[in-house]
């Protein structure tokens, strides 16, 4: 299975398909940090929000590179479950690389600053909260991107619709006062938490919420894959 993960990552890089989401991520991050300097926790919380749809799109691109025939051959070789897991793992690795770039980028462009007033979080605490926010967004974005992949929904138009609804919905339904915030991953709630009072119970609750949403969407992806054959 590890060989299949490496093969999919290699195909993602060698075909140049990795360039589009990379450039998109750099553009949104450059726009975000171009407005002034922020403290790490607040900046990274917003960064996780804007990267969520980019990571989901990146996942869809990675999973769509492999031809259908090659994917079926992989299922015969290593089994259906391992083939699908290998795709999710490859997408997860690619997303983690993007997160590493997102965490480093603001320091290179001078987009973050240390504590300004008494009571502000220290830089290490801010970085830790920012890392948490990004790691919370990764599995949810991978699950959404997998659900939007060709192997799951078939046509490209359906995949675009899933990405658009998931990305816009994650922001719209994540706003304060939303009637059904549990329908989307807690990326907006996470951003508010990193900028405000990050109590331990709040962090635990958001983590469980994100994992439950990811599990539900992953089950949907696996069901669609089974239906598609």
What are 178-216's pLDDT values in tens digits? 777 888 999 999 999 988 877 889 999 999 999 999 999
Is 211 within 8 Å of 225 (Cβ atoms)?
Answer: no
Q: Fill in the DSSP letter of residue 38.
A: B
The predicted structure's pLDDT at residue 177: 67
Q: How far apart are CA 31 and CA 23, in angstroms?
A: 12
Q: How far apart are CA 23 and CA 217, in angstroms?
A: 27
**Alpha helix ranges (H) inside the chain:** 2-14, 19-33, 40-65, 68-78, 80-108, 123-147, 150-153, 156-172, 187-195, 200-228
Q: How far apart are CA 170 and CA 183, in angstroms?
A: 8
- 142-188, pLDDT tens digit by residue? 999 999 999 888 877 888 899 988 888 888 888 776 777 888 999 99
The predicted structure's pLDDT at residue 114: 76
Residue 16 burial class via C-beta count within 10 angstroms: exposed 0-12, middle 13-18, buried 19 and up: exposed
Give the mean pLDDT of the chain: 88
Predicted confidence (pLDDT) at residue 15 exceeds the cutoff of 80:
yes
Burial 62-80 (b: 16+ CB within 10 A, else e): bbbbbeeeebeebbeeeee
The predicted structure's pLDDT at residue 229: 62
Is 29 within 8 Å of 102 (Cβ atoms)?
Answer: yes
Tell me the average pLDDT across 48-67: 93
Q: Fill in the DSSP letter of residue 182.
A: G
- 103-123, pLDDT tens digit by residue? 999 888 888 887 777 777 888
Q: How far apart are CA 160 and CA 167, in angstroms?
A: 10
Tell me, rounded to whole angstroms, the distance of Cα 211 from its chain centroid: 13
For the chain, the domains span: 2-228
Is 111 within 8 Å of 146 (Cβ atoms)?
Answer: no
Predicted confidence (pLDDT) at residue 3 exceeds the cutoff of 80:
yes
Residue 85 binned pLDDT confidence (cut-offs 50, 70, 90): very high
Is 130 within 8 Å of 41 (Cβ atoms)?
Answer: yes
Q: What phi, psi does 38 have (nearest 5°)?
A: -130, 165
């Amino acid at each position: 299975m590890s060989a299949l993960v490496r093969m999919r990552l290699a195909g993602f890089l060698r075909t140049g398909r990795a360039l589009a989401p990379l450039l998109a991520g750099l553009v949104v991050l450059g726009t975000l940090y171009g407005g002034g300097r922020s403290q790490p926790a607040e900046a990274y919380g917003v960064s996780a929000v804007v990267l969520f749809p980019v990571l989901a799109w990146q996942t869809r691109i990675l999973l769509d590179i492999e031809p259908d025939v090659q994917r079926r051959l992989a299922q015969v070789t290593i089994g259906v479950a391992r083939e699908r897991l290998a795709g999710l793992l490859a997408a997860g690795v690619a997303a983690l690389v993007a997160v590493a770039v997102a965490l480093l980028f603001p320091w290179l462009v001078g987009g973050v600053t240390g504590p300004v007033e008494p009571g502000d979080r220290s830089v290490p605490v801010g970085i830790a909260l920012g890392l948490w926010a990004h790691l919370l967004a990764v599995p949810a974005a991978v699950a959404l991107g997998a659900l939007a992949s060709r192997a799951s929904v078939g046509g490209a138009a359906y995949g675009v619709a899933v990405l658009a609804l998931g990305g816009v919905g994650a922001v719209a339904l994540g706003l304060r006062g939303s009637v059904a915030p549990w329908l989307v991953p807690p990326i907006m709630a996470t951003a508010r938490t990193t900028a405000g009072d990050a109590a331990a119970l709040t962090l635990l609750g958001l983590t469980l919420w994100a994992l439950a949403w990811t599990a539900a969407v992953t089950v949907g992806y696996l069901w669609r894959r089974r239906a598609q054959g």
